[in-house]
Structure 1
């Protein structure tokens, strides 16, 4: 029988502290380079270096693997060498107020232009009223008014003289003008008028009619004269305002002479000030009477003057290099911006000063980092991001209006050109789902930086790991680590990835262990973190999460959960499984039983029948039928009915790691040879009888070891694992010590035959030259049983035919 027992040295690959040439990590320089992520680093350099359309970056990998830290570090280095992007601001569109105009200004000039406009408005508030209230203005205005009055008086005087020439008097009445005949300067009374001859009355009426026509024409001319006067007043206002305002605006034109958009805007400001000069006049009603009490006139004036404000939405006056922005809450408004509203008199109003920027505005000309999961969870945020990347412009649109949820009139700010490199950070499954279900994703994010879960456990990486721990300790103001603590963390990092030849790249989790170890070092009043502190941190972490594990162990020890660790049973074996509860995993044995009888060659998985078994578990069970039909009685049909079940399990069962244990139980039931209950088994199996690697091997071994220790170690107990899993072993010190003392054993097997020999103490047996298994072997007993079942099945068929 082959020796399959593993030596203690094979159960735990320890990091030798002697390889480190320092006494504490305080002596080490900072770790600048990324540990073992060459593929991802090359992709990041390429992604941030290429400037072609669609080459945005998706950094994929496990959580807390340092993706964001690494990406940010490289991007900040690149951004520091790039020029600062321009400032952006919104100003009023005087011809269409609900479509504010966007202005681009050189870096740092946005706030300067804003201050210049504020100063201009303050000067206009003084200069315009002074110009409109000056003596010269009043005199010229009075001249225009007097000219109109004089023209009107001359016209009426001329009509009055013509009426007198015809013996007609023109009278002013409360309702207007009237004509009456006269004689010798006196108005003819009605009684006297009746005594006139008909010819005289006809002449008077004809003269009055002619005068009435001239009066109507004169009255029709008066509005024209008034409009002419108003035009003259407007021209006067323009001339006066231009003399007062032109110099102020010309000074600003000289300041921004190299910016055509600003000059165009200043021209519009000048024309608008001229057109609305009356708005600048301050009246007594608009004064502030009491502190904090603003009268309506002032509010209206302030609201009007807001049209000359400058809303700076992007200000790079204090920036150095291209911007690097990480948006933690990527809602649609936070991403593309929003238009706010203010309640006034029961209505919601807004203007261009209430346009607020989004992260895309802040990152324009630089880099924007987003968490993929967060942006996908926010309504319309993902579609909004894709739209701006495709259109290369940021257009602020209200979701409420897009969805017709509100009827309030909003703004349509002018779109701003976009030039940004977007980096998404997320899990691998998100990347692959987006590739599969979003056809636009691959066109927009063409660069994938794939961060590995683990790195090689080499001497160079051990040294880099030590520098990383030292760097982290300094950044978080923790105690330095001695060489023993560094070695212990490296060992646990290998345990985290279940591989003695690898190290975990989940640096966030490793940092947590370091912080906990620093706490325990403080509790012990130590100046440095030692291996003892690291062990205490790991044990304390597991203890906090071990309630379920301890409860299962307790119920097993009390006999509630039936697990045997001594004796032998036919068709019964201890299988091993792993329970994952959040960030904590532990192993626990389960009793697996098998029963066989005459049937039609079916191996029934009871978990599958009641829909508690997952597809991978069911696949493992179906493989057993392939193994049996391929190995035994190849010339005869299988005529058994077998049932397999995980006893006392009431939840879902998934995975094929128990398929070898199920096969051992099935072989025992067929052969009648009992299996040792002191052993537990894990490993999957293929149709050729080869035992395959599984996950969670350390937790499974430790789970059964704890059960055996609670029942009492006898020296016969142990676990069968696949030979391919030996390199994954990083077992707890208690298990290694028990193996060293001969109280517990771990067997590495590569085939079912090796395992069945250990479990039964009976040779498995190999076919001889004639194709027969040797008597007294397990395979012989199994084949004889299957042959007998086939014979019985044939006899039953013949009886049925008769």
Structure 2
């Protein structure tokens, strides 16, 4: 079963840019254009008057506020509204709410001044300010004069935007979101008037949009329940933060016409939904913002146009053709998939800003691939203390990892190490050993699990290995295996199923007494039928094995990876050079039988095919079974002889 090596051209993604190669040749693309399907649903939400709540999944590093702002700019404009309060000065404690067009706030205030100065009012002009007729408004206004107007008249939101606005609500509490009926301490007593109405963000967003992070409600559920009441009722009652003081003023509830957008990751949404069963029925729409740009659904020109937007807005140097190509490769690597590009603009902007400074220092007028690599190298060197310690352990032989020769029951697996509080993971091989024999009770013992150093997924993979042996060797007789599997010199918790292929091969090696080549490393999950499945962190694993082999002076290295992981390959220049120089071979495998042939230089075959690995194990199992039968027969005859002797002695007596 011949397994072809992966050629160097498959080790890094290549993006088809057509005839264009420079950033300036592409049109700028706004954030909302990256999500055309969301645009259509948001347009429907915008047009539907009864739709008040939208829930959107978000992710760190992407500016969702600007994305919604971009969407709004493409929607039909709606006139912004304001809430106005006028106190009835003839009655104690009465204040009435009215809605006016925000762009007519100036005219409305002029009309108030005209009434106070002349006692006359142009009702046709007043009607231009009002959203709907209020017959009792004019008498209230006529009762105002220069002595009481400042206390009896207030507009809660001045004309900042004549069209639909969007407010980003953060660091919320009851007052900032819902406002407050304040009190004034004067002449040894507390008084209140319309002037003491402190508008909240909901009042300021009247007639527009307000965006709120769901996290604001996770730690303060009372905010959510009050907001839900406002959404349902369309009005907001005024409350005083000073609960010990009873105010004479009892203003009308404020009419609230606001479209609320809740944003959060899926965990936050699920936490809110867990405490709020009505969420799915209250929400008019759910929108999903993907964390990655899918090249199979959109043309890459849209993503490049988005990069151009980030660079233009941040006033950074442009990308050269080599810089653009390198950035695309790096963005794809962050996603661990060659059909996806990262939308973490915070991470992109940080990288590009550093590149901008390096380019200016080097007196360049653009950002090229060398500049990007310089920044990446600086970041890596500042963070690779743990890698240096790992290298020292290999060099000083404190960590045993053999990459020469061959050994029975020992294999090099590939792992990815993640350190708490550290932003980057790195790959490191791990020595996996197996011991055992074919004269047991069918049990494969996992030392990590028994030592309580294994996670649930690892435990599941061990059960799958057990299932593989049952499927492969249980016909026509069960396999009487007894074996131990150990991840050597591992002192932290191990989880994941990416070592299942390596562990199974180590067990097969010890059962067949067939050595495994130590210059090869293995990663891959398997199912019960031996099919090799994709794993994560493939790039870090390959680069980690190359690093260790270089320390050991190895030049004929090989790595077995799942064929399904080819789409994830996005490797360093050093590793690509090693492949080109035939110092490293990467073998994609789809079934464990291919791995067996590469690792042990023997065909896997079947239990009935002579001189194959499975047949050797089967024959050993049969011989052991025959020995057990012979031993059982000998013991039986001995027992019978002893019984006959005892019986004869009894008859003689």
TM-score normalised by structure 1 residue count: 0.71
Distance 1:656 1:416, change over 3 A: same
| Cα distance in 1 for residues equivalent to 2:191 and 2:448 | 64
| Cα distance in 1 for residues equivalent to 2:298 and 2:531 | 36
Contact between 1:660 and 1:681, CA under 8 Å: does it hold in 2?
A: yes
| Cα distance in 1 for residues equivalent to 2:34 and 2:507 | 45
Question: Equivalent residue for 1:407?
Answer: 244
Distance 1:67 1:254, change over 3 A: closer
Contact between 2:81 and 2:99, CA under 8 Å: does it hold in 1?
A: no
How far 1:756 sits from its partner (Å)?
1.4
- The structure 2 residue matched to 1:40, chosen from 38, 41, 57, is 38
Distance 1:692 1:306, change over 3 A: same
Contact between 1:370 and 1:425, CA under 8 Å: does it hold in 2?
A: yes
Distance 1:69 1:319, change over 3 A: closer
**Is residue 480 of structure 2 the alignment partner of residue 484 of structure 1?**
no
Question: Equivalent residue for 1:721?
Answer: 561
Distance 1:28 1:39, change over 3 A: closer
Between 1:4-13 and 1:573-582, the stretch displaced more is 573-582
Question: Equivalent residue for 1:454?
Answer: 292
Bigger RCO (CA 8 Å, 6+ sep): 1
Distance 1:115 1:585, change over 3 A: farther
How far 1:380 sits from its partner (Å)?
2.1
Contact between 2:235 and 2:253, CA under 8 Å: does it hold in 1?
A: yes
Distance 1:50 1:361, change over 3 A: same
Question: 1:530-553: per-residue Cα shift (whole Å, max 9, x none)?
Answer: 111122223333333333233323
| Cα distance in 2 for residues equivalent to 1:367 and 1:458 | 33
How far 1:458 sits from its partner (Å)?
6.9
Question: 1:747-782: per-residue Cα shift (whole Å, max 9, x none)?
Answer: 111111111111112222235xxxx1322x221233
How far 1:375 sits from its partner (Å)?
3.8
Q: Classify the secondary structure of the residue corresponding to 1:380.
A: helix
How far 1:691 sits from its partner (Å)?
0.3
**What is the correspondence of 1:395-794 to structure 2 with a 5 Å cutoff?**
395-398=237-240, 406-409=243-246, 413-435=251-273, 438-457=276-295, 461-581=299-419, 583-597=423-437, 598-715=439-556, 717-767=557-607, 772-775=608-611, 777-787=612-622
Question: 1:84-118: per-residue Cα shift (whole Å, max 9, x none)?
Answer: 22443363676453x64323334355566567768
| Cα distance in 1 for residues equivalent to 2:214 and 2:415 | 33
Between 1:467-476 and 1:673-682, the stretch displaced more is 467-476
TM-score normalised by structure 2 residue count: 0.86
| Cα distance in 1 for residues equivalent to 2:383 and 2:188 | 56
How far 1:741 sits from its partner (Å)?
0.2
User: Which structure has greater helix proportion?
Assistant: 1
How far 1:33 sits from its partner (Å)?
7.0
Distance 1:117 1:650, change over 3 A: farther
CA RMSD of aligned residues (A): 3.4
| Cα distance in 2 for residues equivalent to 1:728 and 1:106 | 55
Q: Which one has a bigger Cα radius of gyration?
A: 1
Distance 1:466 1:323, change over 3 A: closer
Question: Equivalent residue for 2:648?
Answer: none
Q: Classify the secondary structure of the residue corresponding to 2:81.
A: coil
Q: Classify the secondary structure of the residue corresponding to 2:317.
A: coil
How far 1:415 sits from its partner (Å)?
1.5
How far 1:6 sits from its partner (Å)?
1.1
Contact between 2:208 and 2:259, CA under 8 Å: does it hold in 1?
A: yes
How far 1:723 sits from its partner (Å)?
0.6
- The structure 2 residue matched to 1:384, chosen from 218, 226, 237, is 226
Q: Which residues of structure 1 form unaligned runs of 5+?
A: 124-247, 274-279, 281-304
| Cα distance in 2 for residues equivalent to 1:531 and 1:391 | 57
Between 1:549-558 and 1:86-95, the stretch displaced more is 86-95
Distance 1:374 1:33, change over 3 A: closer
Q: What number of residue pairs does the alignment pair up?
A: 628
How far 1:454 sits from its partner (Å)?
3.0
**Is residue 90 of structure 2 the alignment partner of residue 88 of structure 1?**
no
| Cα distance in 2 for residues equivalent to 1:368 and 1:585 | 38
Q: Which residues of structure 2 form unaligned runs of 5+?
A: 128-132, 640-653
Question: 1:279-315: per-residue Cα shift (whole Å, max 9, x none)?
Answer: x8xxxxxxxxxxxxxxxxxxxxxxxx58843232122
Question: Equivalent residue for 2:196?
Answer: 354
Q: Classify the secondary structure of the residue corresponding to 1:593.
A: strand
Question: Equivalent residue for 2:235?
Answer: 393
How far 1:726 sits from its partner (Å)?
1.0
Q: Classify the secondary structure of the residue corresponding to 1:611.
A: coil
| Cα distance in 2 for residues equivalent to 1:377 and 1:797 | 70
Question: Equivalent residue for 1:72?
Answer: 69
Between 1:420-429 and 1:695-704, the stretch displaced more is 420-429
**Is residue 138 of structure 2 the alignment partner of residue 263 of structure 1?**
yes
**Is residue 47 of structure 2 the alignment partner of residue 52 of structure 1?**
no
Contact between 1:638 and 1:790, CA under 8 Å: does it hold in 2?
A: no
Question: Equivalent residue for 1:370?
Answer: 212
Question: 1:646-681: per-residue Cα shift (whole Å, max 9, x none)?
Answer: 222222222111111111111122222122222211
Question: Equivalent residue for 1:62?
Answer: 59
| Cα distance in 1 for residues equivalent to 2:260 and 2:9 | 49
| Cα distance in 1 for residues equivalent to 2:191 and 2:386 | 58
Q: Classify the secondary structure of the residue corresponding to 1:314.
A: coil
Q: Classify the secondary structure of the residue corresponding to 1:326.
A: strand
**Is residue 20 of structure 2 the alignment partner of residue 25 of structure 1?**
no
Question: Equivalent residue for 2:152?
Answer: 309
| Cα distance in 2 for residues equivalent to 1:594 and 1:344 | 85
How far 1:644 sits from its partner (Å)?
2.1
**What is the correspondence of 1:230-241 to structure 2 with a 5 Å cutoff?**
none
Distance 1:672 1:96, change over 3 A: farther
| Cα distance in 1 for residues equivalent to 2:508 and 2:62 | 45
Contact between 2:32 and 2:68, CA under 8 Å: does it hold in 1?
A: no
Q: Classify the secondary structure of the residue corresponding to 2:389.
A: helix
